[in-house]
Amino acid sequence: MIDSFGARSTLDVGGKTYEIYRLDALADRFDIARLPYSLRILLEQLLRNEDGENVTAADIEALAGWDPTAVPTKEILFAPARVLMQDFTGVPALVDLAAMRDAMVDLGGDPARVNPQVPADLVVEAIGSIPSTGWLEGNGLDLADGVRTDELLRIGGLPYAVAVGDVGRFPNARYDGVPRRFEHWAMPAAMAKHAARTLIAHLTGADPDPEPFAPLPTFWSDQHDFRLLAFGVPALGLDDVRLLDGESGGDLIAGYHREGLLVAVVALGGRAVVTRAARYRAELLRRPALTG
């Protein structure tokens, strides 16, 4: 890298030496202190990435001499030291990277040459999460894998205490009645509605809703033109998976069965196959798949 302004320096912290780029190297020519902090961050990364091509000395000078009253006429290269992506944006990025590597192979090139220029970390949120229930310990509650509720989402049978969201572990009468947690973001809204009816009944002195909370768990994820859609609880039917629609290796709909009954459907592929999966959702909603 080029260091036209002599900004490269070192910083010793905790017995370790780090390479840094000092903004005060520009102080003799520019009033850096007047720059907003956001622009100072951008200016530092321009100094750090000056190569004479993507970032030139002129680019650095243009930002250091920023005029807030002028109409912007020059783009600012943004090259952070590291990128942190969550699942909704990170997974498509990984898919794009894999597709480019496949294209490189098809062209007879080396796929190892296709790599991010900036180190990136991917955070997949809420997959295999562990409920934080430590603050409830010592209250006699069942806290094994979340807060155990009854079929009305009441904690310990108390009419004034409910649990909703990822932390709630409830028996789903649609299946085998075994208490389970569901971590997809669509579930908390449905749980909250049912729990609200339970609480309102207690506050008004009315009888609680006799209908147990028996949702059809649903999960979906869109990655460009590829879609994943699931209805039900596939884990209950892992020993009996059948191809309901499509073909292996292409767009398909798989059915998960237990005791001969359909307990879940998973659709993979484009928009058309997801649309066709809707009829299986209707089938799952018409009757409980299992009774406990």
- Report domain extents, the chain: 8-64, 83-123, 142-204, 218-286
Q: How many angstroms separate the Cα of 31 from the Cα of each of 23, 37, 124?
A: 10, 13, 42
What is the per-residue pLDDT for 138? 84
- Predicted TM-score of the model (pTM): 0.54
What is the per-residue pLDDT for 116? 74
Q: Which residue has the tokens 């590291």?
A: 82
Q: Is 215 helix (H, G, I), strand (E, B) or coil?
A: coil
Angle at which helix 37-48 crosses helix 57-64, to 10 degrees, equals 170
Q: Which two tokens stand for residue 272?
A: 């058309």
Q: Which two tokens stand for residue 111?
A: 């796929």
What is the per-residue pLDDT for 292? 42
Query: Quick one: CATH architecture of 218-286?
Result: 2-Layer Sandwich (3.30)
Q: Which portions of the chain are predicted below pLDDT 50?
A: 291-292
d(CA 18, CA 44) in angstroms, rounded, equals 15
Helix (H) or strand (E) holding 229: strand 226-232
Helix (H) or strand (E) holding 219: strand 218-223
d(CA 131, CA 92) in angstroms, rounded, equals 27
What is the per-residue pLDDT for 44? 94
d(CA 228, CA 242) in angstroms, rounded, equals 17
DSSP 237-272: GTTSEEEEEE-TTSSEEEEEEETTEEEEEEEEESHH
